[in-house]
Structure 1
Amino acid sequence: MSTTITTYTGDHTGDTAIVLTETALDPYVTHASTRRWLTGPGLPCDSGVLSFAELCREGLRTVADSTGDPDGRLAAELRDQLVIGGLLGPGGALETESVLLDGATGEISTTYLLHDRPDLMDRRPLAPSLRTLVRFAEATDELAGLRGQFASYVGRYGPKAVAEASRHLLAVFEDGTDGAPAPFWKMAALIRPLALVAGRAGASGLALDLPQRLLDQEFGQGKVVRFEEVDFPATLTHEPTRRFLREVGLPEDGYLFTLDTDAPLQTLAEYCADDERGAELPAGAHHLIRLGHLVEDNSLVIDGATGAVLNFSEPEARLFPLNTDVSTLAFTLWLLHREQAIDEESGHELTTDTYDQLAMTMLQVLSTVDPTGVTAAGGGGRHYWTEVFQDVAGGVLEAVGAVR
């Protein structure tokens, strides 16, 4: 199928777009306004939310063509849907969920292309039209870049900025859907603005400047532990980390993480010796300070010299990057707790039927303030938060709420 690349004019000068010829639309797209959109303004080549690269490569294809479906097991309502793109994950990675266009109605939905089990495929609503889809994606990108309609949020951080940005984005989505946006956009409006809670001015000497008492307000008074100088091993020499642990602290129990509070903090070497585990230790274990326990036999440790936060897998006796530093660790634990509060307020709408989209949205927010997971994935390594968030069977984001 033939596609052409052109350039937007007017308000979009300089932005490249995917524009299809009239011939390429036949016989797949009969919806008049959808035809005008695809042959006119077209679809964006550059988006932090969606990718239409497949449309450039393959042209319009039906789901039936994409899956093959040799045994005719594909549901009739999916057979003639057109595969036009896919949702993007953290760092612009292409997710497995495909974006579909109904050529007769112009409606947009998503599905997972299950080549081996097409009979299990279904679709979820995404937007009533291409125009709405593009507008929603643009608004989401503008929030991420603090530009366009969200330019006024530059330099504004904290719970108030989060609440205002969330209302702003939700209003955009409701305006284009008669007040009922698809779950994907609703969770985007509720979760993505959470990245604005912490500043990046570097005043703390760490990646994030968390608002005063943010953790106390979220986890409750008495549930955030602040350390004293006598609690620190001599090998913890990174002063911004020492100051953060003294003045800000960490939640004692973040569900996925439990802080060591029974004794002064130990090096990883001391912890393993005292626990008589006989575990093989990584290089530099005497300079790694164990903060606490992650589920599934993982220890959370800090590099005493740099402040980097690492995951020590005890069964594998290996270290993996976890967070940039203690400020982004605190943000991660706050993000998990905040998501659960939002989910409870919505009647668990976020974790009903769309857990995978919620996990992706959470990881996108986390990658905005801490690129550790994206960097690890790019290098072929493991990242604890990414793995547990995406564990649909384990339902971590649901389980957090169950124990609160």
Structure 2
Amino acid sequence: MPIRFLRLAIVWLLLLVSIWVVQPYVTALWLSASAPRTVTPRADLAAAEQATIRLFKEASPSVVHVYARGTPRTSIFSDEQESRVQSGSGIVWDLAGHVITNNHVISGTAEIGVRLTSGEFVAARVVGAAPNYDLAVLQLERPRSALHPIAVGRSADLQVGQSTFAIGNPYGLDQTLTSGIVSALGRKLPSVTAREIKGMIQTDAPINPGNSGGPLLDSAGRLIGVNSAIVSGSGASAGIGFAIPVDIVNRVAAELIRNGRVPLPGLGIVAAKQDEATSLGIDGVIIVRTLPGSPAAQAGIEGATEDGVIRDIITEVNGKPVHSMEELTSVLEDEGIGKPIELSVERAGRTRTVKVTIADVSRLAQR
């Protein structure tokens, strides 16, 4: 009896081993999809998907790729001239061929070209730039393709939580769509000048290098901002992107197209950096110099001496303390060109009141 049981167990063991060895071959023979799979039908796309697809189809023809070549320079390693090429995004603004982009996309360059969604490459020139707002307007030179101006919305009535969509050319990848929400409103971001851009829109829609100058859209496909900057330790999207509000863009673009420049409310002063004032224990705006013919110069405000001795420090505007050039600039922009203001100016421990009228100092700043 034990021998018979042992033989039976061996037979079953051999049978199981055989099945284990043969199983992959049987599976491959009978279950492999050696012919194309049958497509599983699906229902209609979700309403949200359809809306996003429609938004992209309608808005993407208004987004272009901007290329800018820097001034040629001679390499220290060879006698050949080298020139740096930078790229970003742009927005078709009108049927006349004006394109909106960031000033930092085209700043310091000698040649500019734009590739339209049709594939046509068009030369472009700068109509005007507003570094204080990081905006520039380009003019396309005789495009043959049809132009599709962007639909313009408003930024004043935006709310945190609204859906946002960004279209651009991150890392040179044309016509990339990303989405997110309005993360915050009213942010301030420094420009290349001493002025801050106020009212910036913060979004978590992924924005990367190359998105600069491209549109931030609402769920209706309307322009609500121009993507301008990201906050990231690595230089890639970290979910914190900033766009210039369309209400500012609308106003600045019109000024640049009409006059080639944007009026700049100011007093005609050059101030010391905030950290320099802090290191000296000074609370106020240290005047480094005044521009000739400016309201500040006419009011007797003086800059530092050649050997660095500080003369005048602005401490108040219209009776309210100011601690930095950014705060002073904000007051001047809120008041506007042509408005009179009172400054409290400290010199050698004594404070005097000076009346000045805010002027357009954009021409003075170019001297």
- TM-score under structure 1 length normalisation: 0.25
More helix, by proportion = 1
**Structure with the greater alpha carbon radius of gyration:** 2
